[in-house]
Amino acid sequence: MIRIQLELYGACRDLHSQDRVEIDLPEGSTVADLRERLPAAFDRADPQRAAELVRCSAFATDAALLRDADPLPGNGSLAILPPVSGG
């Protein structure tokens, strides 16, 4: 198992009582696996709203944006970056 420590930003921060969430996933899991499991980990969210936000958010390490097929980093440290809008 790998323990993912996911930093929450923007609208994702409103879905959870803390500024990070931890999820255990099997070794060899990908970003897509994390994306599928993540909505259930939020403790303040309507499941449908959480799933929609996670679906359109990006995942990143401190060095790169990740695609769904990318393996999760060995150190387990990631951030979720929800979409933003501005004027």
pLDDT at residue 12 tops 70: yes
Dig out the tokens for 3 from the structure: 């323990």
Q: Tell whether 87 is covered by a domain.
A: no
How many domains does the chain fold into?
Answer: 1
State in Å, rounded, how far the first CA of the chain is from the last one: 43
Closest of 44, 46, 48 to residue 8, by C-alpha: 44
pTM to 2 decimals? 0.90
Q: Tell whether 86 is covered by a domain.
A: no
pLDDT at 45: 81
Contacts of 66 (CB under 8 A, 6+ apart): 31, 58, 59, 60, 78
Q: Tell whether 56 is covered by a domain.
A: yes
pLDDT at 85: 62
- What mean pLDDT comes out for the span 4-27? 94
Q: What is the pLDDT of residues 35-54, one digit of tens each?
A: 999 999 999 888 899 999 99
